[in-house]
Amino acid sequence: MRFIRRVLPIADEPRGGRLVVREGGRRLASPLILPLSAITVADVTFAVDSIPAAFAITREAAVIWIANATALLGLPSLFVLVRALVERFRFMSQTLAAVLVFIGARLLLEEVVHFPPTASLAGVLLILGVGVALSVAVDRRRPPHPAEREVRRPPRCPRPPTEPVSTVL
């Protein structure tokens, strides 16, 4: 962030969701450029970091390049999905940690025990299913506090209006 602030002149406040604004005859970057840059850096870091894991699965360079390009295109959407899941389900952060442990163990044990891809996928789906089911079951048995429930609303549910809405016909 400091590097971006040094390189680009940044406006004080965002204006209308634009990335570049004019102020006093000068072009300035909107503050929205900072989180966009952070997400882009995270995307590239994730793609570069996943190359050794991809080589554990295949030695085909074309497959690895295509998989990384696809990951770069889909990662922002995945960030939004993971955040929504963590907000909605009580044990989702622990479930995702268990998925990462499972995948790491699979990669470490690859030389000793061969796991077919379908078994790995089934293991990941099973862990996710258990995490979601456990979250739903615990929420039914011990409902969250109303303030926590408001934060953990399912995605796309509209918030109840705070003021009565008047309609003019």
Domain extent listing, the chain: 1-80, 89-153
Please spell the DSSP secondary structure of the chain, one letter per residue.
-HHHHHHS-B-SS--TT-SEEEETTEEEE-TTHHHHHHHHHHHHHHHHHTHHHHHHH---HHHHHHHHHHHHHHHHHHHHHHHHHHHHSTTHHHHHHHHHHHHHHHHHTTTTS---HHHHHHHHHHHHHHHHHHHHHHHHHSPPPHHHHHHTPPTTPPPPPSSPPP---
19, 20, 24, 25: CA torsion to nearest 10: -170
Kindly give the confidence (pLDDT) of every residue in the chain, 169 residues in length, as a single tens digit, with 9 standing for 90 and above.
Answer: 788 888 888 888 877 777 788 888 888 888 888 888 888 888 778 777 777 777 777 788 888 888 778 877 777 777 778 888 888 888 899 999 999 999 999 888 888 988 888 888 899 999 999 999 999 999 888 887 777 766 666 555 556 666 655 555 4
Distance in angstroms (rounded) separating the CA atoms of residues 163 and 99:
43
Read off the tokens for 137. Answer: 């079951």
| Two tokens, residue 29 | 């970057």
Q: Taking the CB of residue 117, how many other CB atoms lie within 10 A of it?
A: 8
Q: Which of 151, 158, 154, 103 is nearest to 126 (CA)?
A: 103
Spatial separation of the C-alpha atoms in residues 53 and 167, rounded to whole Å: 57
Q: pTM of the full predicted structure?
A: 0.54
- Site of tokens 């295509």: 66
Say what the pLDDT of residue 129 is: 95
